Amino acid sequence: MKATTRTRAAIYARYSSERQHDRSVDDQIALARAFAEREGLTVVATYSDRAKSGASFFDRDGLIDLMQAAKSGAFDVLLVESLDRLSRDQEDLAGLYKRLTFFKVEIRTLNEGTATPVHIGLRGLVGQLFLTDLAAKVRRGQIARVKEGKLPGTPPYGYRAIPGRPGQPEIDPGEAEIVRRIFTEYAQGRTPREICAGLNREGIPSPRGGPWRHGGIVKSASTDAQAGGMLRNRIYVGQVTWSRNQRVLNPETGKRVVRAAPVDERIIVDTPHYRIVSDELWNAAHAVLRERSARANGIGRHSRAASRNGSFLAGLVECEACGGPMVVSERCKFRHTARIKCRSAHLGEGCSHSKSYDLVRIEKLSVEVLREKFENPWWIKSLAAEYIKDHAEHTRRAKRQATADRKRMTEIEGRMLRLVNALERGGSMPDEIILTRLQALEAERVGLLESQNLAADQIENAPLLPQAVEKIREMLDRLHEDLSDPVSDPEGSFIDRTALRNLIASVNVRPTRKRMPYQIDIVWNAGSIFSTKAAPRPRPATQIAAEAGVAVDPRFLIAESQSSRHR
């Protein structure tokens, strides 16, 4: 039915890195204008937010302006492609609908028509269902499995899965010997780094197949919930633990934080058939662990965390001989200097590049190279040409991936809608089966959103502006002065250091003889230099689903992802 009295319409469009449809803001506005023409509506204003998430109202100027105009009675109908363009959060979407209704503004979507309280509720149903009810149901099932003595998730190091018996692994004799060796050496006073160095020298693969890292043996953290590592896993003394910590969504930031679970919610089940380490050896290792933790947390502790006065090259300096990281090998607290060295050489893991280097000299040399490069217009031009060429190829691949993801997203949304309708109507199919299928579809949907996020980052192309180059030059000049003289503006220095870190992918230190000048090669982060986002690596589907708050049975998720690959 065409409108007769409500003729004034406004359009809202949003382009997001988490969008459900890979359409630009202009495409959404064009579709909305065509819809308004068919419905007899007169478009009086358009509002948009580009590259803004729909998970919150933060930094969405277009939506704020829209609400102000609605409050003043500037239009009668709001046109959006779909309700998730306004918000994906159930609380926020309901609040928007309530306020727009009070302002006598009708919401119309291109796909579903006039929005009603039922539409608002259904749109928020699926997401909220997975964050609360579905997660609780899956959690109850997992707790039941733990109480039966079964291991949730992937078996830890020292155990191997048995085909056809999920959650019931067996002890791997070879790996069990390595576990007992690690506990024994730690109890005898060896550090995790020393233990790892010995295992790596002997060519013993880590749980992931690569070299051993000390964090896999003892992972220290500021809270008990975040601490971990092999030495803290009670499965090795025949106890399955569950719900030691929780991942809680912070509504203020939209990020998940790890918290220790209440003691009464933690579950410990005795499973003596999984024991690898004796109580005596466990207690001896943990006595050393408690002693070292007390020393580390005591007065005078030297924090390894990055600080505002730390090196702007922290984590970026690499050994050219082996490609491994350069780490601090010694410090002089009186002169406030440090020397760095190849980590593999420092730990005796096989690299011959054993020379140590003054970190401040490496910093100064890096700044000098940066200043020289950014004063050379030919270098900037050649870097830009190389970046544009690579970016064009990435864009072509990203567009192909976006088309495939968009098609699959449409299929998933259709299946989810049919399942939700079946859940409302009731019928012969049990609710648990419907919820399980919805859960798997939601996990795949979240994975597609991640894929679309990666595609969007690669499609974006922001040209290098002369002003940006000039700002980089100014920051380099200030950083050069900061490294030469005491810092007069620590806050400004921290900002400059943080910004300049984005220009560098790595600083490779070449081996040189004693007392010879330092030689470095800088690998540039072209995406940051040209004000674009460096495309992140795709993450596992289980990690994506967990961060989105979707509790998924890993077996069902794997089966779903395999079926997707064969389509």
When pLDDT is averaged across residues 204-223 and rounded to a whole number, the result is 78
Lowest-confidence region among 47-51, 174-178, 255-259: 255-259
CATH 3.40.50.150 fits 133-296, yes or no: no
- CATH code 3.90.1750.20 region(s) in the chain: 133-296
pTM for the full predicted model: 0.41
Dump pLDDT digits (tens) for 197-213: 889 888 898 888 888 88
Q: Is 531 left (phi over 0), alpha (psi -120 to 50) or beta?
A: left
Q: List 260's β-bridge partners, or say none.
A: 245
CA neighbor of 284 nearest in space, from 184, 363, 365, 392: 184
Question: What tokens does 36 get?
Answer: 């308004």
Class of the domain covering 8-122: alpha beta
Q: Return d(Cα 294, Cα 497) in angstroms, integer.
A: 33
Do 328 and 346 contact (CB within 8 A), yes or no?
Answer: no
Report the half-sphere exposure of 510 (CA within 13 A, side-chain side).
10
Mean pLDDT on 413-425: 78
* Dist. CA 525–CA 370, nearest whole Å: 12
Span of 3-12, 242-251, 418-427, 460-469 with lowest mean pLDDT: 460-469
What integer pLDDT is reported at residue 497 of this predicted model? Answer: 63
- pLDDT tens for 38-97 read 889 999 999 988 765 544 555 677 888 898 899 999 999 999 987 777 776 777 778 888
Instruction: Give the pLDDT mean for 323-345.
Output: 76
Total residue count of the chain as it appears in this document = 567
Confidence tier at 104 by pLDDT (50, 70, 90)? very high
Q: How far apart are CA 197 and CA 214, in angstroms?
A: 9
d(CA 170, CA 504): 46
Please report where in the chains the tokens 């894929």 appear, as a residue.
Answer: 451
360 pLDDT exceeds 70?
A: yes
Percent of the chain scoring above 90 in pLDDT: 12
Residues of the chain with CATH 3.40.50.1390: 8-122
513 phi and psi angles, rounded to 5 deg: -75, 165
Over the stretch 161-171, which tens digit does the pLDDT of each residue have? 888 888 788 99
The DSSP call for residue 157 is: T
Q: Is 505 helix (H, G, I), strand (E, B) or coil?
A: strand
Q: 3-state SS string over 67-96?
A: HHHHHCCCCCEEEECCHHHCCCCHHHHHHH
